[in-house]
Structures are given as structure tokens and as C-alpha cells.
Structure 1
Amino acid sequence: MKNLFVFFFFFVMSCESYLYDDYKIIDYKKRINRDDTFKNNVYNVRKGDNLYSISRKFNASIEELIKFNKIQEPYKIFPNQSIFIPLNQKHKVVKGETLYSISRYYETTVFTLAKYNNIKNVNNIKVGKELIIPKGIKKKEKIKEKKWDSNFKTKQIDKKKNETLRDKQSSKFIWPVKGKLLSKYGKSKEGFYNDGINIDSKKGTKVKSSKAGKVIYCGNEIPGYGNLILIKHSKNWITAYAHLNEVFTEKGKKVVKGETIGSVGNTGNVRSPQLHFEIRKGKESVNPLKLL
């Protein structure tokens, strides 16, 4: 009902443009001089513009314009106002970049980039390839280096590190399956980046939930991962289980630590039966070997 109301509101506004010059709609089919009004996904409002006309010009929904620009009722905009347009962006891969590093730069996930760009092998992207960056994702600003007090004692720093380590150890994740490590977390000699670990195991071996939580995804839509399960845990922890042969749970189900959620397989971009396992803190991947 809310979406219908918003659409109706702006439809009426567009009709009123025939009566009131302030709301006159410029033909959306006319080309925009992007050098003057549009740069880096930001549009500079001109006289006669309203949210309806801008949404038609850029093929973006009115709801998205309101959301990303935090525009309040009665949803009026003014000349020279800067409006962020949530359009798909493009990123050209350069030497040394991985899908992981690009996902960090745009503050998104490897899963999202792989899905939008139909990438079957997330560990292999070619230099020069143009990637689509989904709507509404902005570039990550460079973080300024912090200036540390020269009088700060080393013992205090070590104490903080030890406390952080104890916090991580107390999360008590368990191994989802037993087996030999096929690939470790991080960058390999070939330059590929692994967001998790790959564990060798026989096809059909039961895969257990590493910790209690709620299943937030079950499916095989993410290219390269095959049958995949994502479980969200307390304190914004997330675990991922990929290349499964069978799935024994469903989205929305609450699971306990050690509960069987699937079986080892070789679905996705792997040949031999194995489990790809990830642990994430929000969007950031963490080395599972430090927490298991």
C-alpha cells in the first residue's frame, strides 16, 4: 500500500505540471548533457525537474531516489540540489586485483559481484574485464592513518590484542566437517584470494552447523559455489557452506551447533568432493583457522 501511495502521489504531481509551471516535466526522452548535470552518479537538479521526471530520465524508481537521498515528505526538490542516482556502475579490473579486493573497495560482497557478473570461478577474473557494480553501492573512502601517542605503552597494546584474541576464541565455532585442508584462507601463490578454507571429504559426509544460528540463505544461484547455505549467528557472525551435495535445512530455520545441515558434494566449480567453509564478521571475512 505504501509503494502504491508513493506512485500515485508522484503521478498526480506529473499531471499537475500542466497547470503549474514549477512542476513542468521535461521530456525524459531528451538526452541529458551529462558534462553539466550528471557526474559520478550525482545529478544536479535543474528548473522544472521533480522526482518523477528524474526517475524517467535515468530509469530509476522514485522509491530508490527517496531512499538513497533521504528525501522527506512532501518530496520536493530544488534547482542546483545534488541527487544521487542509484545506477549500475562499471569497474575495469587491473593487474593485482581480485574479486575479493574489489568487493572490499565497493563495500559489497564477493557473492553479489559474482551474481551480477555471472562469474563462475570467483578465484579467476581477467585483467581488463569490466565488472558491473550494483545499484546504490558507493566507493569506499580512503581511511586516514591514525596518529598514535608516542608515550602509549607497549604493554597496553599487547593487553588489548590478548583481549581481542580471547574474544575470538570464546566464539566457539566447531569444524563443520573433518578432513584434509585443500586450500587455506587468503592469497595463494597464483594470486587468487580465498575468503575461507576448502576441506577434503567423501561425498555424502554430513556437514554440521559450526555454531547455533538462523539459516538466511539456501540455494545455488551464486555462480561457482554450487549448493550453498548461509547461517547468521549472534553478534553479526555469518558462516557459509558451499559445494554441498544435499541440503537438509531451509531458509528461516533455527539450527543448533553441531546440527546436520547438508552433505559434502562437488557442486559448483570444483571437481572433487569438498566443503568450502567461510566465517564472516558482517561483510568482512575472517580466517576460520583462528576461530575453530
Structure 2
Amino acid sequence: MQYRFLRRLSAVLGFALIAVSLAGCSSSSGYYRVRRGDTLGRIAQRHGANAKDLARLNRLSKPNALAVGQRLRVKPSGRRRAPVRTTHTPPPRSAQILSNLPSSITNIPASVSFALRWPAQGAIIRGFDGINNKGINIAGKEGDPVYAAADGTVVYAGNGLRGYGNLLIIRHPADFLTAYAHNRRLCIPEGQNVKRGQLIAQMGNTDSTDVMLHFELRYKGRSLDPLRYLPAR
């Protein structure tokens, strides 16, 4: 598969992330008011920022203890933000679907069958809601193994999609994708076929305040609740 990499792709993706903010939560003044269900990571994602940078900017000693109505600065005051430099190639079209999406769907057609295995062993620390969290967050320790949830081909491995950190995306048959975010290390390069249960990454906290795996399941670009397709523990 060949990808056309565009120099302006990162800027386009950043705009798509900002566009998902709801009315009444404008940050044109450089501030944002916390809503129910918000996390620092998602706020950073919406505003093209890094969660750790926001924690430092707002002097948050407990970044995970946000209060509804709390006012956060999401842009540095009086300074132009230096451009982010990365050695990774900006994401191709296969990664864009994670930032510029139609609404989530409850289920896939009955005629389509798809089953997953657990990509990590930790507890679920945040579930799917289709709006503020388009996947599930699985807790763990730095370096814990991350496994492919199903057979497929790696179509993206990099950190060019802000808010996801070191991200790996696998394309599966029948228009499915799975995404594995915030990894410390990616173990599989783009273009390689992987088998269900194969080690693909090590858990980390890139672009996140906590060590965890953010895991998403997509069908034709739309987000699905992964718990509907994972076996019961």
C-alpha cells in the first residue's frame, strides 16, 4: 500500500480534533471550562496540545482530579508556541479516521461477524461512551505487553496524531480497524502482517498523564464499543 504524505497533514488533523469541542466550551480566549466526563488527555487532544504540557501550564498536582467548571489555560499566555518537531512521518489517511470521524454506532450489521482477544491484561479504568472516549482505557505498568486483538496488517506506526502518543493501527478484514495508543515502544513496523495475540507494543504514557493502553475498534471509520466484541473475563 502506498501513502501520499502531505506536509500540512498535521495541521489538518489538529483542526479536526479542535472541531469536536461542543458549543459553549470555546477556548478562543486561551481557556477551557471542564465539563462532566472530561479528562486532561482528551482536553489536550481537542486543543492540539500535550496533556503533560497542560498539567505544567496549569500547575496541576493531580491532573486526574479535574472538577466540573474548573477553568484551564489551554494556550500559553503571550507566547507563540514553538512548532512540535518529530522524527516520525505524519500519519497517512488510514490514521486520519481516528480524528475526523462520523458519529459512533451501537452495533455492526448482523451479517458481519468479528471477535477480538484482549490486547492487554489490566483493569478497565475508563469505558466507551462514543463522544469523549471512543474506546476503552486499560491500566497497566510501564512496559507491559500489548497484543494484536485480531489478525491483520499494520497500516500506521508512529506518533504524528496528537493526543494518541505512540500509536499503532491494524487493518482487519471487512472494514475493521483496531488502534493501540500511548505506547512506550512500538514493536511492529508499518506494512507487516500480524497474528491475533502477537506482541505489537509495550504499554506507556506518551501523550497521557497515566500509563495505560487506549484501545479503539472501528468499523468503516465509526467507533464501536470494544467490550461488545471482547470475551468476558
TM-score (norm 1): 0.45
Alpha-carbon distance in 2 for matches of 1:195, 1:180: 17
Deviation at 1:120, TM superposition (A): 3.7
Q: How many residues align?
A: 155
Indicate yes or no: 2:111 matched with 1:172.
no
Deviation at 1:201, TM superposition (A): 1.0
Alpha-carbon distance in 2 for matches of 1:269, 1:178: 19
What is aligned with 2:178? Answer: 239
Alpha-carbon distance in 2 for matches of 1:120, 1:179: 24
Alpha-carbon distance in 1 for matches of 2:108, 2:212: 34
Out of 75, 78, 95, the residue aligned to residue 24 of structure 2 is 95
Structure 1, unpaired ranges of 5+: 1-87, 98-113, 130-139, 141-161
Indicate yes or no: 2:153 matched with 1:214.
yes
What is aligned with 1:59? Answer: none
Question: 1:289 is paired with a residue of what secondary structure?
Answer: helix
- Cα gap change, 1:171/1:228 in structure 2, threshold over 3 Å: closer, same or farther? same
What is aligned with 2:219? Answer: 281
Deviation at 1:177, TM superposition (A): 0.5
Out of 125, 129, 145, the residue aligned to residue 182 of structure 1 is 125
Out of 165, 170, 191, the residue aligned to residue 252 of structure 1 is 191
CA contact (8 A) 1:237 1:280 kept: yes
Alignment of 1:90-239 (within 5 A): 94-95=23-24, 118-120=48-50, 164=109, 167=111, 170-186=113-129, 193-239=132-178
Structure 2, unpaired ranges of 5+: 1-14, 27-44, 52-65, 75-100, 102-106
Deviation at 1:223, TM superposition (A): 1.3
Alpha-carbon distance in 1 for matches of 2:123, 2:208: 19
Deviation at 1:119, TM superposition (A): 4.2
Question: 2:174 is paired with a residue of what secondary structure?
Answer: helix
What letter matches 2:48 in structure 1? N
| Greater share of helix | 1
What letter matches 2:193 in structure 1? K
**Identity level (%):** 32
Query: Which of structures 1 and 2 has the bigger CA Rg?
Result: 1
Alpha-carbon distance in 1 for matches of 2:126, 2:226: 12
What letter matches 2:220 in structure 1? G
What letter matches 2:125 in structure 1? L
Alpha-carbon distance in 2 for matches of 1:265, 1:286: 23
Question: 2:184 is paired with a residue of what secondary structure?
Answer: strand
Alpha-carbon distance in 2 for matches of 1:285, 1:93: 18
Alpha-carbon distance in 1 for matches of 2:22, 2:108: 39
TM-score (norm 2): 0.55
More RCO (CA 8 Å, sep 6+): 2
